[in-house]
Amino acid sequence: MTTTHTIHLDGAAFPCRDSETVIAALERAAGFGAAAVGGRRVPVGCRQGGCGVCRVHVLDGRYRVGAQSRAHVSAEESDQGIALACRLIPETDLSLSPAPRARGKKTNDINNI
């Protein structure tokens, strides 16, 4: 039987299977209307640890992370609980908050075109 953990994010709670990433669980929950996905909070990007848009802060719970680009999460930040949701695999229930990296001038904000 597959173990599932509950992910708490932005007032939503959704199940995440034992070996899957938080972003995969979030996308599935969004598909069933159980959680909001996208927007400015935790967007879905490359799903492969490279682009950094799904950066989160783990407030509570145990987890492991796969390979993620150091351009978006430094070793120090990693120790402080910062991770990319697409590389984040829960080992217990998790409580998360979005942690988008502050960037320069957003010339490419889609809403400004």
| Residues making contact with another protein (CB under 8 A) | 38, 43-51, 53, 67-71, 103-110, 113
43 or 61: CB nearest another protein: 43
In terms of CB distance, is 31 or 38 closer to another protein?
Answer: 38
Joined tokens for residue 103: 């960037």
CA of residue 56 relative to chain centroid, distance: 5
Which residue bears the tokens 């979030």? 26
Q: What is the smallest separation between the CB atom of 106 and another protein, expressed in angstroms?
A: 7
Handedness of CA 44, 47, 50, 56 (dihedral sign): positive
Closest CB to another protein among residues 1, 113: 113
Residue 95 CB, nearest approach to another protein (Å): 25
Rounded Cα gap, residues 42 and 86, in angstroms? 10
How many CB atoms within 10 Å of residue 10?
Answer: 13
Q: How far is the CB of 99 from another protein (least distance, A)?
A: 16
